[in-house]
Structure 1
Amino acid sequence: MLLTANLYGNDAEEKLFSVEEETYHANELSEILSQIKENPININTSTKTELQKLPWLSENDIILIIQSRKNQVLSSWEDLDKLGINAITVNELHDFIVFRKRPELHLKQQTRVEFSEAKSKLRSSLKYYQKTLTEYGNFKAGVLTQKDEGESDPIDFYSYYLQYRSNGILQNGILGKYRLALGQGILFAPKLGMSKSAEATSVPVKKYSSLKPYTSSYEIWELEGCSFELTTRNWSIIPFLSRTKLNANLDSLEQITSFNESGLNLDEAKKNNVQETLFGSAVEYNNGNNQLGCSYSSLAFDHEFSNDKRNQKYQAVNLYCNLFNNSYPLFSEIALADEKVAGLAGVKFGDTRFRQMLLVRNYAKDFPSWHGNPFSAQSNFDNETGLYYGVTILPRKDTKINCYFDLWSFPETRYFEKMPTVGSDQFLQLETRISENTFRFTIQNKQKEKYITLDEAEIRDFERLLLRLDWWQKLGVITMKSRAEWISEYLPEDKVHGKGVLFYEQAKLRSEKLQIIAQITVYRSVLKPFKVKHYMYENNVNGIMQNSVFSGDGVASYLLLRYDLFNNVHLQAKISDSWQKSNKMRLFFQLISSW
C-alpha cells in the first residue's frame, strides 16, 4: 500500500534542499517545482524533457513510464507501483503529477508582502513582491517586481519578458530579461542552481532548458536583451545579446572590487553603477537522448577590476555533451574564458537498484564565474579541484538509500585563506516505511580547513557532524512529523568542541479547501568559543525556499495557512516567531490567482 499524498507535501522538496546550509532565495529547481505544483505534469502525455524536471525520477524510471504508455493509460499511483518504481519515489511525486488533462491556465498573478519585526525601524520596512504571467496562443509575457525592507524605490528590482514558442524553426524567442543554461553550467547556468543534494545521483547533473525567461527574484546576473532558439531537425542555434546594469562595489579608482549579490540596495550610489555587455551564440545537436554543443561569447564591463587577474573584456568558448542513450550515461563540459580553463566530466553506472555516479571537476583560479554555476563545493566555483561519488540504493520496495562522498581542494589562495586548503563531505540518508510510519535517518560529516577566529585568527581544521532522525505518522486527517537532531563541531588542533541539539514537532492538516501547518522547535547549542548553528528547512508560502538558522538556546514556532477561496484563487499566510528573543517575528501574506 502506498503512502498518502498528505504524508510528504513539501517534505519531498526538503529532502532535496536540506543539504544546503544558508539559503533564502528560491533556487531555480525550487521555482520549477513550485510552478509544477500549480500546474502538475500529466504523466500520460508528458515528454521526456518534462519528466526530467522531476529530480526524484531516474533515467530508468522515465524510460519505464514512457514505454508503459504505449500499452496502457496510467490512471493511478498503483500503476506506477506496478511498473517497479520505488514506493518512496512514487510518494515524492504526489504533488507534481496528474493522470488526466487539466484545464490550461492563461493568467497567473502572485502578490506577496513580508514584514520582519527586526527590520521594522527601517524606512519602508515592508518587503513587496509581485509576479504576473500571461499566455495567449504562442505568446507568453511576464512582469516581476520586488522591493526589499529599507529600500525606498517601490520597484527596486524588476524583470520583464515577451516570449514566443512554436514547433517551427523559431522554437523559442525572448525579448526582455532571460537566462541561459548550456551544458553543465560552467559558462551559463541559473545562479541559484544546486550541486549536492539528498538525491545523490540525479541533482548533480544539470538538465535545465537552454533558454528561459528570467522569473527569479535573485537581483543580479540576469541577461537583458534578446535571444532566440532556431531549430531544424536535430540542430539548434541560440544567438544571444544582452546589455544590463549591475550593482558593484567600487574603490577610489572606480575599479570593481566585488558585486553586490545580496539584492539589498540601501545606497543608491552603488545601484546599477556598472554596465555589462554580452553577446554570442550556441550551437547544439540533440536527438532526444544525446546532446552535443558548443558556444562562443564575448563579455565586457565598463569598469576595470581592482584584481589585475580579471580582465575588463574577454572572450569565452566551451564544448559540452550529455550522452544518456547508453549503459553508462556521460556528461561533460570544458570551457576557456579570459585565458583560463575550467572543466567537468561525469558518468553514471549501475543497475536500477544500485545507481552510481562519478564526477570530477577542475576550475582555474579567477575563472570568470559571473553567469556560471556548475557542480562545486562553494558559491564562487573558481579555484577548485574535486572528486564526487554518489550512490542511490533501492534494497526494498519501501526503502531508499542515498549517499555521497565529495573531496575537494582550493589549490590557490582565497580571500581569507592565504594558502591552499582542502575539504571533504560525506553524506548518508536512509528512508524507509514501516506500516503507517515513515522514517528518514540522515548523517553528514564535513571536514575542511577554514579561517576561524578564536584568540587569534588563523586557518584551522574544522569538523562538523550532523545526525538527524525524521518520523512521519498518519493520524486521521492529520500528519505528524517529529525531528531529533544532534550536531557536533570540533577544532582538533585547539581541542575545542561545540555541540547542539534540536527537536521539533509539526502537524499538517489538509482538507478540500484548507491546509494548515503548525510547528514548534526547541533548540540548544553553545555560543562560545564559537557559535554552533542549526540549519532547518521551513515550509513557507509558495515561491520561497527558506532555511532558518538557530543558535544558542530558544524556542521557535510558525503557523502556515493556505485557503482556496475559489478553484484558482489561493490565499496564503505565515507567522513565525522566537519565544525567548525579541524582534524575531515575521509575517508573510500571499495571494495567487490563476485563470
Structure 2
Amino acid sequence: MMRYLRTTTFILFLFLSCATVAAQGQRPWETLLEELTAQDDNDIAVASDMYDILIDLEENPININTATRDDLGRIPFLSAQQIEDIEAYVYQYKGMKSVGELSMIESLDPTRRYLLTYFIYIGDYGAKEHFPHLADIVRHGRNELTATGNIPFYDREGDKTGKYRGPKYRHGIRYEFTYGKYVQAGILGAQDAGEPFFADKNGMGYDHYAYYLVVRGLGRLKTMAVGQYKLRMGMGLVVNNDFGFGKMMTLSSLGRSTNSIRANTSRSAAKYMQGAAATVSVGKGLDATAFVSYRPIDATLDTLGNIRTIVTSGYHRTTTELRKKNNAHETTVGGNIHWEGGGFHLGATAVYTRFDRSLKPDTQRLYRRYAPMGNGFVNASVDYGYINHRIAVNGETAVGNSHGIATINSISFVATRTLSLLAMQRFYSKRYSSLLASSFSDGGHIQNESGIYIGGYWQATRHLSLLFYTDYAYFAQARYQVSAASHSWDNNITATWTTKGWTVVGRYHLKMSQKDNADHTALADVTTQRGRLSVGYATKRWNAKVQGDMAYSNYKKRSTGYMGSATGAYDFGVVRLAATFGYFRTDDYASRIYSYERGPLYSFSFPSYYGRGIRYAVFARADISKALMVIAKVGTTDYFDRNHISTGQQMIAASSQTDMELQLRWKF
C-alpha cells in the first residue's frame, strides 16, 4: 500500500511540476549523444567514451579562427570533409566574425552547426599562437575540484553478509588544472560500492587512481602525455583504447581516420595506458608518434600461474575479486608515422605488447579456439586515404604474429548540401588478434568477421532530417552462444523533425541474427525490433519531452516490451530543477528498454529496464557562484512484479531501490 501511495504522490508532483518546472535541461549535445546511441550495449559503451571528451571540450572550447586540423580532430562528431571545409573557409575569409557563418559551410548539416557552438568560440584571427610562459600558466590556469558520491537507501546481499569488503557507498574525487588547450593535468580517485577503502589491497585509499599531464602546441611537440592516457591510431585495428566506432556514431563522423593522444579522465580501471606518449612534427605534413606503457591488469590465473582471462570489469568488492586485482602486468611499446599532403594521407603503426605471465585461455571452447596465446604479441598496420570537400576515402590494413589479417575501408561522399553517404567494408580473419584494437564491428571483436555497411544522412527539408544505415555481417567460425558459422543483418532509420522549439524524433531498429537453439543442436534465427517516438518542446528557460519506446524479440520465445516516459526542466538562473517519470512493462530481459537519464557531471547513465515497474527521479543544480556548483539527484525504481531485485551478492531484498547522488564542484 505504501508503494502505491508513494507512486501516486510522485505522479501528482510530476504533473504539477511539468506545468512550471522540469529537469535541468540536458545539454543539447547530450540529447544528440542520446539519439546517436542505437539502443544496444555496444553503442552505449561508445557513447560513454565520447561523453568524457565532450565534457572536456565544453569546459575548454576551441577558437575556431586559430584551430588546427588536430584541434578540430578532437571534436568526435565532425567528419573529415567537415574539418577540411572549416579550415578552408577560415583561411579564405580570414576568420569568422560570428557563429552564424557556420551556415555557409556546405558540408555542415544543421545539427552539427548547432552542436559546434558549444565547443568553439569566435576569437581573433591571424594572431600567432605561442605556448605560454610558465608564469602565465601558473597565474592564469584554472583549478577545478569535484567530489561525487552515491548514497543507496538499501543494502545488497553482499553488504549484509559481509562478502563485500567495503562500505556500500560509491564515491570519487577529481582535481584538474587546465590552461586553455595547452596544459591539462589532474588526478582522480574512484571507488565502487562494496570496495574496501583504506583497507585490504586499497591501503592507499581509493580502489582506482588516474593521474595525467597533457601538453599541446609546444613548438614541434604537438602533443605529449605523461601518466595515464588514451591512444587512437588510424581506424583502430592495432591500437585504440579511446572512443570506438558505433554504428550510429560512424555516420556522424563518416568513417573518419584519426590519430590522437588524450588524458585518461575516466573512473574506469580498464582501457588506458600508463607511461608516456608524444607526437612530434618532423617535417611539413609529417608527424611521428611514440608511446610506452607499463601497467597492472586484473586477471584470472590457472593453477600454474598463467593468465586464463583478462578481467576488465574493475570491480574489487569480494575476496575473489580482490584476488584478481593487479596480479599481472602489461608492457606496451609502439609508434606511428603519419604523412599528409594534397588531400592524401598515409601512416604506419607498430605495437609490441608483453605480459609478465603467459596468456593461456581455454581454447577447448569453440568460441575461444583462435584466442591469443603466449607472452608477446606484435601488430603492425598501414592506414591510408584521400580527402577533399566531396569525397573521403579511409582505410587500414593490419597483420600480427598470429598470422591473420584485418582490413577496414570506407568511402564517404557529400552528394549535395543535404545528402551524405557512407559505405564501409571490413574483413577480420579468424586468426587475427590485437589486444589493444577497437574498431567498427558487429560482434564487438576485431576477429572472425566480415561485412558491409551502408548509411547516410539526408536533410530532406528545412525541418526534416533522416539518418539511416544497413549492415550485413558474416562470422565464419563459432562465437559465444553461436556454435557454427552465422550471420546478422542490422538496420536502423531515425527521422528528426524540428521547428520553432519543437523536436519530434522517430526511430526504428531491426536486427536479424543467429544463436544456438535451446538444445544446442542447431542455430535459431533471432529477430530484435526496437522503436522510439519522442516529442519535445524547449524555450530558453524550460523544456519538456514525452517519449515512447517499444521492443520485440523472438529468441527461444516471443518477448515484447514498452516504456512511456516524461521529462521536463526549468532554469531559474541560480537554480535549475528537473524531474523525470517512466512506466515500463516487458516480458523479460530480451525485450529490455534503454532510457537515458541525466546525472551529475562526468556520469553518463543509460540504464536498461525490464519486468514491470516505474522509474522516477528529481534533479537539482545550484550555481551558487561562478566558483561553486552543487548537484543533487534522487531516483527510485519501483518494480511491481517481484519482491527482490537482482541475484547473488547484488540482490536487494525489496521491490524498490532508491539512490541519492551528490556532487560538489569548486573552481579556483
TM beyond 0.5: yes
Within 5 A, what are the aligned runs for 1:74-85? Answer: 74=96, 76=98, 78-81=100-103, 85=108
Please tell me whether the aligned partners of residues 144 and 665 of structure 2 are also in contact (alpha carbons under 8 angstroms). Answer: yes
Deviation at 1:182, TM superposition (A): 0.7
1:394 equivalent in alignment to 2:459: yes
Equivalent residue for 1:513? 574
Deviations 1:252-291 (A, max 9, x none): 2322221111110233221111111222222111349543
Equivalent residue for 1:557? 616
Greater CA radius of gyration, 1 or 2?
2
Distance 1:52 1:289, change over 3 A: farther
Equivalent residue for 2:147? 111
Distance in 1 between residues matched to 2:378 and 2:79, nearest whole Å = 36
Gaps of 5+ in 1: none
Distance in 1 between residues matched to 2:58 and 2:111, nearest whole Å = 18
Distance 1:504 1:288, change over 3 A: farther
Deviation at 1:438, TM superposition (A): 1.5
Distance in 2 between residues matched to 1:175 and 1:54, nearest whole Å = 22
Equivalent residue for 1:155? 206
Within 5 A, what are the aligned runs for 1:418-437? Answer: 418-437=483-502
1:414 to 479, 484, 489: 479
Distance in 1 between residues matched to 2:333 and 2:111, nearest whole Å = 45
Deviation at 1:362, TM superposition (A): 1.3
Equivalent residue for 1:15? 35
Deviation at 1:345, TM superposition (A): 0.7
Deviations 1:373-403 (A, max 9, x none): 1111133332211111111111222221110
Deviation at 1:517, TM superposition (A): 2.5
Distance 1:100 1:169, change over 3 A: closer
Equivalent residue for 1:47? 68
Distance in 1 between residues matched to 2:73 and 2:276, nearest whole Å = 26
Distance in 2 between residues matched to 1:428 and 1:142, nearest whole Å = 41
Please tell me whether the aligned partners of residues 405 and 431 of structure 2 are also in contact (alpha carbons under 8 angstroms). Answer: no
Deviations 1:324-363 (A, max 9, x none): 2364211111111222211111111133321111111111
Within 5 A, what are the aligned runs for 1:103-502? Answer: 105-117=141-153, 121=159, 122=164, 123-135=166-178, 139-152=183-196, 153=202, 154-190=205-241, 192-197=243-248, 201-203=251-253, 205-233=255-283, 234-266=285-317, 267-287=321-341, 289-307=343-361, 309=370, 310-325=373-388, 327-338=390-401, 339-349=403-413, 350-365=415-430, 367-451=432-516, 453=518, 459-474=523-538, 477-491=541-555, 496-502=557-563
Deviations 1:135-189 (A, max 9, x none): 4696542212211111113321112223343342333333322222110011111
Distance in 1 between residues matched to 2:223 and 2:64, nearest whole Å = 24
Distance in 2 between residues matched to 1:435 and 1:25, nearest whole Å = 31
Distance in 2 between residues matched to 1:402 and 1:371, nearest whole Å = 30
Gaps of 5+ in 2: 1-24, 125-136, 197-201, 364-369, 641-654
Please tell me whether the aligned partners of residues 631 and 664 of structure 2 are also in contact (alpha carbons under 8 angstroms). Answer: yes
Deviation at 1:469, TM superposition (A): 0.7
Equivalent residue for 1:532? 591
Larger strand percent: 1
Equivalent residue for 2:14? none
Distance 1:136 1:45, change over 3 A: closer
Please tell me whether the aligned partners of residues 79 and 254 of structure 2 are also in contact (alpha carbons under 8 angstroms). Answer: no
Aligned length: 583
Deviation at 1:457, TM superposition (A): 8.7
Please tell me whether the aligned partners of residues 237 and 434 of structure 2 are also in contact (alpha carbons under 8 angstroms). Answer: yes
| TM-score using structure 1 length | 0.90
- Tell me the SS of whatever aligns to 1:449: strand
> What amino acid maps onto 2:270 in structure 1?
I
Please tell me whether the aligned partners of residues 6 and 510 of structure 1 are also in contact (alpha carbons under 8 angstroms). Answer: no
Equivalent residue for 1:34? 55
Please tell me whether the aligned partners of residues 6 and 479 of structure 1 are also in contact (alpha carbons under 8 angstroms). Answer: no
> What amino acid maps onto 1:272 in structure 2?
N
Distance in 1 between residues matched to 2:391 and 2:93, nearest whole Å = 28
Aligned-residue sequence identity (percent) comes to 20
> What amino acid maps onto 1:593 in structure 2?
W
Distance 1:452 1:554, change over 3 A: farther
Distance 1:200 1:235, change over 3 A: closer
Distance in 2 between residues matched to 1:344 and 1:485, nearest whole Å = 34
Larger helix percent: 2
Distance 1:364 1:415, change over 3 A: same
Distance in 2 between residues matched to 1:162 and 1:434, nearest whole Å = 44
My pick for the range that moved more, 268-277 or 113-122, is 113-122
| TM-score using structure 2 length | 0.80
Equivalent residue for 1:71? 93
Distance in 2 between residues matched to 1:204 and 1:573, nearest whole Å = 38
My pick for the range that moved more, 421-430 or 343-352, is 343-352
